């Protein structure tokens, strides 16, 4: 996957109902293993590298970003968990996340060749 960032978020197991924190890997903003939580502002590369380590653009108003859960099973019941998430970012703020329904929009994204995010509003 290369360098990525992490969304630390609380999820609920669909099988046993327990809530637990998980780490969701995603590629948007300055890719430097930065840990975010919902409501945090995405950081961008403002160094001498001029955006070399950025994925996406700070100028985009609203995007949906592909997220991959680091846990593959619930820590309580050990049953399979949601593996992929949509992470919603508006004006560089992580507004929400939800289990991904389909990966198709990422495959068809004409703004990102890697399938890491989809433009919802320019």
Tens digits of residue pLDDT in 69-117 = 999 999 999 999 999 999 999 999 999 999 999 999 999 988 877 889 9
Beta strands in 27-122 (DSSP E): 29-30, 35-36, 54-55, 62-69, 84-90, 93-99, 117-121
Question: Of 54, 55, 119, 114, nearest to 90 (Cα)?
Answer: 119
| Residues 21-35: tens digit of each pLDDT | 999 999 999 999 999
d(CA 72, CA 58): 31
CA within 13 Å, CB half, 79 = 8
């Amino acid at each position: 996957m290369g360098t990525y960032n992490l969304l630390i978020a609380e999820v609920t197991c669909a099988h046993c109902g327990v809530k637990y924190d998980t780490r969701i890997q995603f590629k948007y903003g300055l890719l430097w293993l930065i840990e975010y939580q919902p409501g945090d502002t995405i950081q961008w590369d403002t160094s001498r590298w001029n955006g070399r380590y950025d994925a996406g653009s700070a100028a985009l108003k609203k995007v949906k970003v592909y997220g991959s859960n680091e846990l593959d099973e619930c820590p309580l019941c050990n049953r399979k968990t949601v593996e992929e998430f949509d992470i919603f970012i508006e004006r560089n703020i992580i507004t929400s996340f939800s289990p991904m329904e389909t990966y198709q929009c990422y495959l068809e994204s004409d703004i990102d060749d890697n399938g890491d995010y989809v433009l919802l509003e320019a």
